Amino acid sequence: MGSEAPERGRGRTRVLVTGSAGMLGTELVRLFQREFDVTEADLGEFDIRDSVVTDAFVAGATPDIVINCAAYTDVDGAESDSEEAFAVNARGAGNIAAAAERVGARVVHVSTDYVFDGTGDRPYEETDEPGPVCVYGRSKLAGELAVSEAAQDALIVRTAWLYGQAGPNFIETILTLASSGRDLKVVEDQVGAPTNVRDLARTILELIAVGATGVVNATNRGWCTWFEFAREILDQAGYRDMPIEPVTSEQFPRPAPRPGYSVLSLARLVSLTGKEPRSWQDALTEYLAER
């Protein structure tokens, strides 16, 4: 039911974006409005934790496609607020998928590299066994399972290290510290793929266009440590002489453990879309030019 093509004879395809005010949601709305009728929904529109309320809102929007970006994203906060993290990321995600399935809409759900334990030494493929090491990761994995159970033909997009113009992010933190002249210390033992939400939004559109289902990894191409990311940010932004001290995760303790290595394989993405994502360095250049 959820995988059927939208009825284009009745007008433009209708897309519901939940979490529309977030970094990714903002880019999805901007991009999709060019060719679709978009309904935006964020906090205050309806409570995804409530299945009855969610059913009513989705039914009223009559979407052909539902893209769920709504999430509890405070990784450290989730350690002490696991009930809320699971309520939003697991039960809420399942509620949205079930509501979409009831109205015959295709389901797209956004997930994370944090579903893996980070002990690997090669890019994680979609079929690799998950093993999250923090509450946030466990709640997102539970959300994947809830979405898959509610909508068998759902598209689940796993991504990583997001940044964008609509919200605070690592890049802005680094540049704020640099401009204030404060000492910079950045962890060098966590490896991942910085991802521009503008590229991710385009990729989601391409995956929808080719009818992709199941789990698909989507990030910018290449990978680095947080330290290397920070160094590239400073170099591109004109702070080449600004020193950074590399530190270990143990030297920079956080409430939630992070996977040490969470690079995602892009092989399935390339096979589906026929396109290689641009490098994280090029995506960073565009972001800095527009800020």
Taking the CA atoms of residue 203, residue 208, residue 210 and residue 216 in that order, the dihedral angle to the nearest 10 degrees is 60
Element (H, E) at 61: helix 51-61
Residues 107 and 251: their CA atoms lie apart, in Å, by 41
Contacts by 240-245 with C-beta closer than 8 Å and gap 24+? 242/178, 242/184, 243/184, 244/184, 244/185, 244/186, 245/183, 245/184, 245/185, 245/186
CA–chain centroid gap for 151, Å, is 19
Structure tokens at 167: 């919200």
Calculate the CA dihedral of residues 127, 274, 272, 64 and round it to 10 degrees.
Answer: 140
Identify the helix (H) or strand (E) that includes residue 97: helix 93-102
pLDDT at position 10: 57
Amino acid 181: pLDDT? 87
What does each C-alpha distance from 286 to 167, 195, 201, 280 come to in angstroms?
Answer: 16, 12, 15, 10
- Residue 237 buriedness (CB in 10 A; 0-12 / 13-18 / 19+): middle
Q: What is the pLDDT of residue 4?
A: 42
The model's pTM is 0.95
In Å, how far are 3, 88, 283 from 274, measured between CA atoms?
A: 21, 34, 19
Active site positions, annotated: 136
What tokens were used for 134?
């923090």
Structural domains present in the chain: 8-168+194-221+263-278 (3.40.50.720)
* Tokens 């030019």, located at residue: 289
Q: Per the structure block, which two tokens stand in for 117? A: 């334990």
Local mean pLDDT, 10-residue blocks, the chain (291 residues): 44 96 98 97 95 98 98 98 98 98 98 97 97 98 98 98 95 96 94 98 98 98 98 98 96 96 98 98 98 91
Long-range Cβ contact pairs of 43-52 (< 8 A, separation 24 or more) = 48/18, 48/88, 48/92, 48/93, 48/95, 48/96, 49/87, 49/88, 49/91, 49/92, 49/95, 50/95, 51/95, 51/98, 51/99
